[in-house]
Amino acid sequence: MSGKHVAKNQPSSFAFTDENKKKIEEVLKKYPENKRKSAVMPLLYIAQRQNNNWIPLAAIQLISDMLGVTYIKVYEVATFYTMYNLAPVGKYFVQVCTTTPCMIRGSGKVVEVCKKHISEKQGHLNKELDSSWIEVECLGACVNAPMVQINDDYFEDLNAEKAEAIIKGFKEGKLPNIGSQSGRKGSEPIQNRTTLLKKNA
Amino acid sequence: MPKVTVDGIEVEVESGSTVLQACEAAGKEIPRFCYHERLSIAGNCRMCLVEMEKSPKPVASCAMPVMDGQVIKTNTPMVKKAREGVMEFLLINHPLDCPICDQGGECDLQDQAFNYGGGRSRYELNKRSVDQKYMGPLIKTHMNRCIHCTRCVRFSEEVAGVSEIGAINRGENMEITTFLENTIESEMSGNVIDLCPVGALTSKPYSYEARPWELNKVETIDVMDAVGSNIRMDSKGWEVKRVLPSINDEINEEWISDKTRYACDGLLNNRIDTPFIKKDGEFKEASWKEALNFINQNLENKKTFGGLVGQLVDLETSYAFKKLFKNVFNSELVDFRQKDILFDTSNTFNFKFNTTISKIDEADFILLVGANPRLEATIISSRIRKAVKSGCKVFSIGDPGDQHYKFKVIGNNISILDDLLFSNISESKLLKEAKNPVIIIGESVLKSEISKNVISSVQTLLKDINKLDGFNILHQSASNAGSLILGLQTENLQKVYDADVLYLLNADEVNIDKKNNQFIIYQGSHGGENSRIADVILPSAAYSEKNGSFVNLEGRVQRSYKASYPPGFAKEDFEIFNDIAKNKGSNHNYVSFDSLREEMINEHKLLGIYDEIQPSDIENLKIEKHIKKDHLIEINNIDYYQTNIVARSSKTMDECKSVKQQPRKTGTEN
């Protein structure tokens, strides 16, 4: 989480696309007129989606003006939640889970791989400016630990080699199938099924 | 009302209060950091933990509502252990820099760590470090010391009305800051310094100036505006080091405006400490004797004498000044108005803030007529904000600019008052239905040509709905109301300015067009534009260097006390009057300040009743016949940080002004 920082180079302005403006209209309809400021989170999310997965300060100001709240209020929300990025992230944005189950199963090695193949410091773009990585808290896939999230997808059952292969792969523009990388399906037992073996039990 | 037992003492408290309040009612002290009587409840410091019967865990007393039959214990081992634990956590990241911290000696954390802490630290890892934040020229930050009580955040949102301070990031990385470290756009921002229970937010001008135990503390009142906020002046030797609010629920609660708090360094700069005589267009230092003789020589063959009382002059001095003119110069031409303005003095009701400051909270309809409360009387603005929060609607005739609360401008012509009266516009219905309407008239619409008309229109309007109490005049300077009571409003102001001898008593706000042969005496504490055109300058004590009394805009008489002493050869004003009279061969003389005060009170009985508001004689109020009039309202521009001579002499105020003029950061630079 300490990887979160606010970008120094900020675009001078930000405007929603027409398509997103329509989306925002839909979002605002869900809230009563006097509770419109509650729409701050979906709006930040729309802004992040539009702007290559990060939110510039200009967008924060635009959203505060749209909702009629002060800048600091939106800024507080944007800095509080780890899933809002306030600095540019790579086209391939790797989030490595380092919470206890993943840590026990070897997420430290995955972190080492990221440091070696992406960038030394988390939250910073690599030299080719196509990828970045951060450590995150539990992403809820503990059964298949250790795991990483790349953009919107989970890649599970990793070890150092598999993680390295994935990173090398996306640098060439290919990602493996999402989910477990050990060949098992979903979260089934790793040595095949051990229960419900008899058909008519 | 629920009954609660605290440490075996049974107390009855109002329903809706908290366990902490019940404990206080029982006389038990509960340590706290985040809880503050005048702010919303946050419950995030956990210092106020107490034991409650039937609860397995200690409860945060500030956020726990009282219930009938609760049994609270505040002195059990469990409570002691809980407090020690909370304190240990708070101190984990708090630096041990009390010896160089400005809060040292008056720090809540220091005191409570001493009283309730464990006594030693078990933490051996690195403390977290946080960058300093810029919050403008008034507030110095040491964010390492912050314990995240969020009092400042709640104050800026709830009281100041500028939600500009916030807590960013989360968990261990949480930091208090303003958006992009902008200056706080509020005239009340200094209060966060008092609210901060640690040394995270401290006063920038006062930094490293003094220790609290070295200071001489005097409870007095403020003269930067006409509100009469209660303050405490802390001085070390001659220097007034700082000004803090003291609590008065009738007036300023426990807030003061930034000008009140920070203009005090103006008392040290630009002072006149010896008499000056102008010879061949140049000022020469002189002794008192030379100066008085010089005055005497120049007064010969002069026929008319005019006196002008400044903004910061106390009642006693104004009274003695008037008597000096009457007894020695044989003149009645003493006035206090430094701009084109006319008050109706036929009844004290006509120039007072009759709603009274504390009752603004209850208002449900407020109409500003040519007033800008935010800059003219910041404390009143915060009261209006309070009313707005409980549902009051605010309208304004004339646009005063941002007030930090929502209001609607319904025009900029005084004819709107007639429209309201004859129900021509929708707002008149609101006014008629209002239970506690308040109409506030600013000085901008009291220009001599429209003054009478505005006063009579507003009074007719309020009389119509039988709510005459809602008639208010918003004065801008501390000496206004007192001068009006003393009868210092002459019929023809120009006569005063055109007199052969013009005696300026600390009056520096008006441009004097000096005539040939006109002899100008400037008596005051600070040098300003008008001291430059004077022929002789007499040094006098500033308001903080003598006793006195002031009438605030509600008509409340309050005493101010001596916190320091005049510099150099400066004397108290009435002593100078004595000298002038003596030198002129008159026997006009006040033996002491007390005898002067006594004589004044004998003549004006009401000025002897302190700290109370005397009701006006409404029954005999004559409301002038109302004449329809068209006149555009222009609200005078107020240079908030430079309104009086002390503020103009203050470096801090100067800095505030220059910061305000810089464009704000937008976040899109680089």
Residues 209-238 of chain B whose Cβ lies under 8 A from any Cβ of chain A: none
Element of type H or E holding B428: helix B427-433
Q: Which two tokens stand for residue B246?
A: 């003291």
Question: Do A6 and A71 touch, CB atoms closer than 8 A?
Answer: no
- Mutation target among B129, B164, B175, B180 for the A interface, most CBs of A within 10 A: B180
Q: Which of B163, B668, B669 sits opposite A73 (nearest CB)?
A: B163
Task: Show the 3-state SS of B151-199.
Answer: HHHHHHHHCCCCCCEEEECCHHHCEEEEHHHCCCCCCCCCHHHHHCCCC
| Pairs across A and B, CB distance < 8 A | 52
pLDDT at B181: 82
pLDDT at B552: 93
Q: Are B163 and A2 a contacting pair at CB < 8 A?
A: no
Compute the nearest-CA separation of B454 from chain A (Å).
36
- Helix, coil or strand: residue B602: helix
% of chain B residues with pLDDT over 70: 99
Q: Are B164 and A70 a contacting pair at CB < 8 A?
A: yes
Distance CA B546, CA B573 (A): 9
Q: Are A9 and B670 a contacting pair at CB < 8 A?
A: yes
Distance CA B326, CA B413 (A): 41
Compute the nearest-CA separation of B623 from chain A (Å).
43
Q: Are B169 and A4 a contacting pair at CB < 8 A?
A: yes
Give yes or no for residue A2 having a pLDDT over 60: no
Q: What is the CA radius of gyration of chain A?
A: 20
Searching chain B, which residue's CA lies closest to the CA of residue A2? Answer: B173
Question: Do B551 and B315 touch, CB atoms closer than 8 A?
Answer: yes
Q: Are B173 and A2 a contacting pair at CB < 8 A?
A: yes
Q: Which two tokens stand for residue B459?
A: 């009074």
Helix boundaries (H) for B30-165: 77-92, 108-116, 151-158
Chain B residues touching A2 at Cβ < 8 A: 173
- B261-265, B647-651, B659-663: the lowest-pLDDT one: B659-663
Chain A residues touching B170 at Cβ < 8 A: 1, 79-80
The two beta strands, B557-560 and B548-551, are antiparallel
- Contact of B516 with chain A, judged by CB distance below 8 Å, is answered with no
Distance CA B656, CA B647 (A): 11
- Contact of B130 with chain A, judged by CB distance below 8 Å, is answered with no
Mean pLDDT across B220-249: 93
Q: Which of B162, B165, B668 sits opposite A13 (nearest CB)?
A: B668
Neighbour count for residue A164 (Cβ, 10 Å):
18
Q: Which of A10, A72, A80 sits opposite B163 (nearest CB)?
A: A72
Q: Are B180 and A57 a contacting pair at CB < 8 A?
A: yes
Q: Are B170 and A2 a contacting pair at CB < 8 A?
A: no
Q: What amino acid is encoded at B567 in this protein? A: P
Q: What percent helix, strand, coil does chain B show, rounded to 5?
A: 35, 20, 50
Q: Are A76 and B166 a contacting pair at CB < 8 A?
A: yes
Q: pLDDT band at residue A67, thresholds of 50, 70 and 90?
A: very high
Distance CA A60, CA B362 (A): 37
Searching chain B, which residue's CA lies closest to the CA of residue A79? Answer: B169
Quote the ipTM score: 0.83
The three-point CA angle B666-B668-B670 to 5° equals 120
* Residues paired with B236 in a beta bridge: B239
Q: Are A8 and B168 a contacting pair at CB < 8 A?
A: no
Q: What amino acid is encoded at B292 in this protein? A: L
Mean pLDDT across B254-263: 93
Mean pLDDT across B260-266: 92
Question: Do B344 and B217 touch, CB atoms closer than 8 A?
Answer: no
Question: Do B306 and B333 touch, CB atoms closer than 8 A?
Answer: yes
Q: What is the mean pLDDT of chain A?
A: 89
Q: pLDDT band at residue B538, thresholds of 50, 70 and 90?
A: very high
Chain B residues touching A61 at Cβ < 8 A: 666-667
- Mutation target among A4, A9, A34, A71 for the B interface, most CBs of B within 10 A: A71
- Contact of B297 with chain A, judged by CB distance below 8 Å, is answered with no
pLDDT at B663: 57
Q: Which two tokens stand for residue B301?
A: 């063959």
Which residues are CB-contacts of B458 (< 8 A; sequence separation ≥ 6)?
Answer: B369, B417, B439, B441, B471
Q: Are A12 and B668 a contacting pair at CB < 8 A?
A: yes
Q: pLDDT band at residue B662, thresholds of 50, 70 and 90?
A: low
pLDDT at B85: 93
Q: Cα dist. A171→A49, A96, A107, A168 in Å?
A: 22, 17, 21, 5
Searching chain B, which residue's CA lies closest to the CA of residue A11? Answer: B668
% of chain A residues with pLDDT over 90: 50
Q: pLDDT band at residue A1, thresholds of 50, 70 and 90?
A: very low
Q: pLDDT band at residue B670, thresholds of 50, 70 and 90?
A: very low
The two beta strands, B408-409 and B276-279, are unpaired
Chain B residues touching A12 at Cβ < 8 A: 668
* Residues paired with B11 in a beta bridge: B4
Chain B residues touching A69 at Cβ < 8 A: 163
Compute the nearest-CA separation of B237 from chain A (Å).
42
DSSP class per residue in A119-149? -SSTTS--TTSSEEEEEES--S-GGG-S-EE
Distance CA B252, CA B246 (A): 8
Task: Show the 3-state SS of B186-217.
Answer: CCCCCHHHHHCCCCCEEECCCCCCCCHHHCEE
Distance CA A183, CA B299 (A): 110
Give yes or no for residue B624 having a pLDDT over 70: yes
DSSP class per residue in B456-484? HHHHHHHHHTT-GGGEEEE--STTHHHHH
In terms of Cα–Cα distance, which of B412, B365, B411 is closest to B384?
B365
Residue B393 phi, psi dihedral angles, 5° rounding: -100, 135
Where on the phi/psi map is residue B275: left (φ > 0), alpha (ψ -120 to 50), or beta?
beta
Compute the nearest-CA separation of B166 from chain A (Å).
6
- Helix, coil or strand: residue B118: coil
What letter does residue A51 receive in the DSSP assignment? T
Residue B259 phi, psi dihedral angles, 5° rounding: -65, -45
Give yes or no for residue B540 having a pLDDT over 80: yes
Q: Which of B163, B170, B667 sits opposite A61 (nearest CB)?
A: B667
Q: pLDDT band at residue B628, thresholds of 50, 70 and 90?
A: confident
Searching chain A, which residue's CA lies closest to the CA of residue B178? Answer: A72
Q: Cis omega before residue A146 (within 30°)?
A: yes
Q: Which two tokens stand for residue B95?
A: 């630096």
Compute the nearest-CA separation of B665 from chain A (Å).
12
Searching chain A, which residue's CA lies closest to the CA of residue B164? Answer: A72
The three-point CA angle B203-B206-B208 to 5° equals 110
Compute the nearest-CA separation of B535 from chain A (Å).
54
Searching chain B, which residue's CA lies closest to the CA of residue A76? Answer: B168
- Helix, coil or strand: residue A181: coil
Chain A residues touching B150 at Cβ < 8 A: none
Q: Which of A4, A12, A72 sits opposite B179 (nearest CB)?
A: A72
Q: Which residue has the tokens 């985040």?
A: B34
Which residues are CB-contacts of B610 (< 8 A; sequence separation ≥ 6)?
Answer: B549, B557, B558, B559
Chain A residues touching B402 at Cβ < 8 A: none
pLDDT at B76: 93
Residue B466 phi, psi dihedral angles, 5° rounding: 60, 35
In terms of Cα–Cα distance, which of B133, B552, B530, B554 is closest to B314?
B552
Q: pLDDT band at residue B669, thresholds of 50, 70 and 90?
A: very low
- Per-residue pLDDT tens for B189-211? 999 999 999 999 999 999 999 99
Residue B652 phi, psi dihedral angles, 5° rounding: -60, -45
Searching chain B, which residue's CA lies closest to the CA of residue A9? Answer: B670
Compute the nearest-CA separation of B96 from chain A (Å).
25
Q: What amino acid is encoded at B53 in this protein? A: E
Q: Are A9 and B170 a contacting pair at CB < 8 A?
A: no
Mean pLDDT across B129-135: 89
Chain A residues touching B189 at Cβ < 8 A: none
Mean pLDDT across B303-318: 92
Which residues are CB-contacts of B520 (< 8 A; sequence separation ≥ 6)?
Answer: B501, B502, B503, B504, B512, B514, B530, B533, B534, B535, B536
- A28-37, B154-163, B180-189, B599-608: the lowest-pLDDT one: B180-189
In terms of Cα–Cα distance, which of A56, A123, A132, A60 is closest to A91?
A132
Question: Do B98 and B107 touch, CB atoms closer than 8 A?
Answer: yes
pLDDT at B665: 55
Chain A residues touching B666 at Cβ < 8 A: 61
Mean pLDDT across B534-560: 93
Distance CA B148, CA B172 (A): 10
Searching chain A, which residue's CA lies closest to the CA of residue B163? Answer: A70
Q: What is the mean pLDDT of chain B?
A: 90
pLDDT at B101: 93
Q: pLDDT band at residue B664, thresholds of 50, 70 and 90?
A: low
Q: Which of B164, B170, B178 sits opposite A80 (nearest CB)?
A: B170
Searching chain A, which residue's CA lies closest to the CA of residue B667? Answer: A57
Question: Do B67 and B53 touch, CB atoms closer than 8 A?
Answer: no
Mean pLDDT across A99-125: 91
Q: Are A69 and B163 a contacting pair at CB < 8 A?
A: yes
- Mutation target among A2, A5, A65, A76 for the B interface, most CBs of B within 10 A: A76
Searching chain A, which residue's CA lies closest to the CA of residue B167? Answer: A76
Compute the nearest-CA separation of B133 from chain A (Å).
14
